[in-house]
Structure 1
Amino acid sequence: MNLARHSISATKPVHIFDARFDPECKIFTTSTPAGFAVYDTWPLKLIRKRELVGGTLSAVVPLHTTNILFLLGGGRSPLYPPNKVVVWDDALGKEVAELEFRERVRGIACRRGWLAVSLRRRVSVFQVGETLKRYGEWDTCDNPGGLLAMATAPHSTLLAIAGRQTGHVQLIHLPPCAVPQPRGPPGSSLPSKPPPPSSKHPVAIIIAHKTALTTLSLPPSGRLLATTSSRGTLIRIWDSLSGKLVKELRRGTDKAEIYGVAFRPDEQDLCVWSDKGTVHVFSLGLAGASNRQSSFSPLKPFMPLPRYFESEWSYAQYRIPVQSAHISLTSKSSNLDAPEEEKCTVGWIDVATDDDLSDRGPVPDYQLVALTYTGGWYRLSIPPAKSSVKVTPSQSSTSLLKAATTPKGFPRSSVSSSTSSRMDKGKEKEKQGRDCILQEYRKFGRWDGWG
């Protein structure tokens, strides 16, 4: 029993199979036993719902904020065979196309004009236009989770999929992502210019982990890549062009199943969430806050230290409350479709208002929205960075990307006892952090899944 978790509601939890944000986190979709629904992410608002009879869906994936959705059948009574991807036009309220494969579809990702479908050992890519046209196929290692990720910003090209060997990542460059059509009057916004071509040949394979991958994540630009493995303790950030390791972040020390990683749109932070029920926020070292480190990290140039004490820990976190206050006496196997208490998905939103204006327009103000599979909607703000941090010359020489506290002097005791006590204090230091601020909590849907 985890006594640190508290209940936020005593009502029966909402029944949700899956929740997905669009690439810009402006909307999200949910699949329920009754069908699926589409919501505005913030302010939270039900846009529409579709009641479907004859079966259930395992996922509803939006193509940005267009009327096109990709549906996957799932659950104990799938609406569609598990080897099909159905293209749904929500403006028409009906299916307009489908893709059929020889085996079960494991995962899908999309961006303007493109769809990638992951099978157990293969990824197929299609052009989405008036018709669906197969573009290419790539072999992978055993990939039961259907891992893949696509960069979605205008002119981006990157598709990341599992490699042919365990723990490897393949980087594939598709034709550039199209620029979205402006919604305002003609000439109201300047057209986006493509970036200059790189002088370096991009890498094709990254040896990311020794164990099986559990998540692949890209920011909209595709300049970075985040990977996690089955141990669930480390998040590695890679330069997608050079293949070099940029940062290694530590979620914790005990094994966990990481559900997802999301980059902030400006690529200054990222968040990580797992089956521990905690959302962790890390700085990528570009601006603002610094990640927590052990008190011993400044000693690295002077003495060998275990790798653990070099780790960077989240500078902010939020523990998602357990929503069900009752104790169920029924066996877990009696309801195979019951939502998991800890399951959630998290995305970044821009909450800047007209008051947040500068000479160059509105200043982005990023917050987090966490959606639980029991119907909780949490809007979280990031705690402000500390105004001052004392840094010694030895600390600043190690790295400008690392935050560390000045180590205390050695006590006049034996070396072994002092080192042991300091190690314990160093471990306690990593557990101290700031909590994200809950700005708003709401429920989306009722017990049947609708708002």
Structure 2
Amino acid sequence: MNLQRHSITATNPIRILDARFDADYRLFTCSTPAGFAVYRAYPLTLLRKRELTGGTLAAVLPLHTSNLLFLLGGGRSPLYPPNKVVLWDDSLRREVAELEFRERVRGFACRRGWLAVALRRRVVLFEVGERVSRFGEWDTCDNSRGLVAMAAATGATLLAIPGRQTGHVQLIHLPPCPPPANAAPSQAKPPPRPTKHPVSIVAAHTGSLSTLSVPPSGRLLATTSSKGTLVRVWDSHTGKLVREFRRGTDKAEIYGVAFRPDEKELCVWSDKGTVHVFTITANSGQANRQSTFSALTPFLPLPNYFGSEWSYAQYRLPAQSPHASIETQASRAPKLNVADEERCVVGWIQVPSDRPSPDRDAPLEHQLVALTYSGGWYRLSLPKSGSASTASVASPSSGVSASAAPPRSISMHRPRSSSGSSFSSRTEKGKEKEKEGKESHECALKEFRRYGRWDGWG
């Protein structure tokens, strides 16, 4: 008789093969072995699902809120050859065009009327209208990650791709992006043209690039390298470095960077399972944290590390069990051990603020939505400006988050955090302040839901 214990479950594991937002963070798509689905980002709503047989998809890219999507086959049994991009018209529920290449497609990006396809050493641009026509082609360095970014706001022109040299970014200006078909006249007004000719090459990093991101306007450019410690923000017109942020001290794989639509903040997420939020402008109401020695950098030859800016807010994604019961309340969200390999994608949304207002309509505030590949949907609110501004400088007596603060010259008796360095105070009073600071710098989980198989498919 076999008395060995066996684990029995009534639910198959969730498998999210890919999840990504549209350019405006209004929708997101996810692909599973059963097909793909389109969701409203907030409030989380399943808009439509398409069950496909015969293979799997590696990525589904929505073209804003239109019925057009770009499909890329992948996985163990690809639905389409990995060297093809298929244009899917969801109103017709079928393919309407396909683009075939001589090698595997590494990545793609789109905006109204345009599609950029990244191959191993080149990026090909297509104009998408009544017909799909080839517009241009540019050589790149080894781009195995398929990096390419396009500005998608009305009047935007920027296309960012890796340059021919490792760590460089090539900036290409296309015809202005047209407004939506139902846009008001005020929204359709394009931005004024620059008076000087923009730069075409930005020497962003010495190592290979890991991410390329641009806001909808295309005014800025964010880059990260394979080392995964720094995030650099550039002016896409002048090519000058605007800000430099430090994610952490140890090497990490940064999965993505997302600008807030008004370009006042950005968020970064990596394989450490932590989402970091940085402020870009001084009038955003928040202040990034810095080392205690940052004030001495103009007077002493200290390493650049001590002048680094660290995130003012962060959130640690918990590990999700594929068999956990469905929970809709934030207070009942699972609190399991953190999984560093939890992959996610993060986007910005606007929701009515819960703060009192004399106006009839509540003001809107920016929040984050994090999508995990285990099927978790997290809505996160940022710390209020009053709670985080008092701890912009890390010191033994100032409460800072232990997992994101710069290391201190204090003896450390507990292990280092995977997303940065930590320090311990020598007094109970210091520990209490550290705890208070950690709470003030943590994003608050407002809502937790599931998508994918939890919607009855996938």
Alignment CA distance shift 1:340-1:405 (3 Å): closer
Alignment CA distance shift 1:423-1:270 (3 Å): farther
What is the correspondence of 1:3-402 to structure 2 with a 5 Å cutoff? 13-182=13-182, 190-286=186-282, 287-324=284-321, 341-352=341-352, 363-386=363-386
Whole-Å separation in 1 of the counterparts to 2:312 and 2:270: 17
CA root-mean-square deviation: 3.0
Tell whether 2:448 aligns with 1:441.
yes
Whole-Å separation in 2 of the counterparts to 1:77 and 1:343: 22
CA contact (8 A) 1:120 1:142 kept: yes
Displacement of 1:428 in angstroms is 4.8
Displacement of 1:20 in angstroms is 1.0
Whole-Å separation in 2 of the counterparts to 1:220 and 1:138: 22
- Give 1:89's aligned amino acid: D
- Give 1:440's aligned amino acid: E
Displacement of 1:193 in angstroms is 1.7
Displacement of 1:199 in angstroms is 1.1
Q: Report Cα offsets for 1:182-237 as digits up to 9, x if no partner.
A: 26xxxx66343222221111000000001000000000000000000000000000
Whole-Å separation in 2 of the counterparts to 1:153 and 1:219: 8
Alignment CA distance shift 1:440-1:388 (3 Å): closer
Whole-Å separation in 2 of the counterparts to 1:406 and 1:443: 39
CA contact (8 A) 2:83 2:103 kept: yes
CA contact (8 A) 2:322 2:374 kept: no
Whole-Å separation in 2 of the counterparts to 1:279 and 1:350: 18
Secondary structure in 1 aligned to 2:386? coil
With the length of structure 1 as denominator, give the TM-score of the two structures: 0.83
Higher relative contact order (CA 8 A, sep 6+): 1
Percent pairwise identity: 66
CA contact (8 A) 2:37 2:50 kept: yes
Displacement of 1:386 in angstroms is 2.6
Secondary structure in 2 aligned to 1:309? helix
Whole-Å separation in 1 of the counterparts to 2:51 and 2:291: 52
Alignment CA distance shift 1:12-1:310 (3 Å): farther
Secondary structure in 2 aligned to 1:324? coil
- Give 1:48's aligned amino acid: R
Whole-Å separation in 1 of the counterparts to 2:356 and 2:126: 41
Displacement of 1:95 in angstroms is 0.4
Whole-Å separation in 2 of the counterparts to 1:429 and 1:200: 48
Aligned positions, number: 404
Alignment CA distance shift 1:345-1:407 (3 Å): closer
Secondary structure in 2 aligned to 1:351? strand
Whole-Å separation in 1 of the counterparts to 2:252 and 2:208: 13
CA contact (8 A) 1:151 1:222 kept: yes
CA contact (8 A) 1:341 1:374 kept: no
Secondary structure in 2 aligned to 1:386? helix
Whole-Å separation in 1 of the counterparts to 2:273 and 2:41: 21
Q: Identify unmatched segments of 5+ residues in structure 2.
A: 1-9, 324-338, 398-407, 413-419, 425-433
Secondary structure in 1 aligned to 2:306? helix
Alignment CA distance shift 1:375-1:179 (3 Å): same
Displacement of 1:300 in angstroms is 1.6
CA contact (8 A) 1:84 1:101 kept: yes
Whole-Å separation in 2 of the counterparts to 1:428 and 1:217: 29
Q: Identify unmatched segments of 5+ residues in structure 1.
A: 1-9, 327-338, 392-402, 409-419
Displacement of 1:364 in angstroms is 3.5
- Give 1:295's aligned amino acid: T
Secondary structure in 2 aligned to 1:296? helix
Displacement of 1:407 in angstroms is 10
Q: Report Cα offsets for 1:395-428 as digits up to 9, x if no partner.
A: xxxxxxxx446999xxxxxxxxxxx94798x975
Alignment CA distance shift 1:131-1:438 (3 Å): same
Whole-Å separation in 1 of the counterparts to 2:213 and 2:157: 14
With the length of structure 2 as denominator, give the TM-score of the two structures: 0.82
Q: Report Cα offsets for 1:339-380 as digits up to 9, x if no partner.
A: 995110000001137999899x97441100000000000000
Whole-Å separation in 1 of the counterparts to 2:111 and 2:222: 19
Whole-Å separation in 1 of the counterparts to 2:421 and 2:93: 55
Q: Report Cα offsets for 1:46-84 as digits up to 9, x if no partner.
A: 111111111000000000010000000000000000110
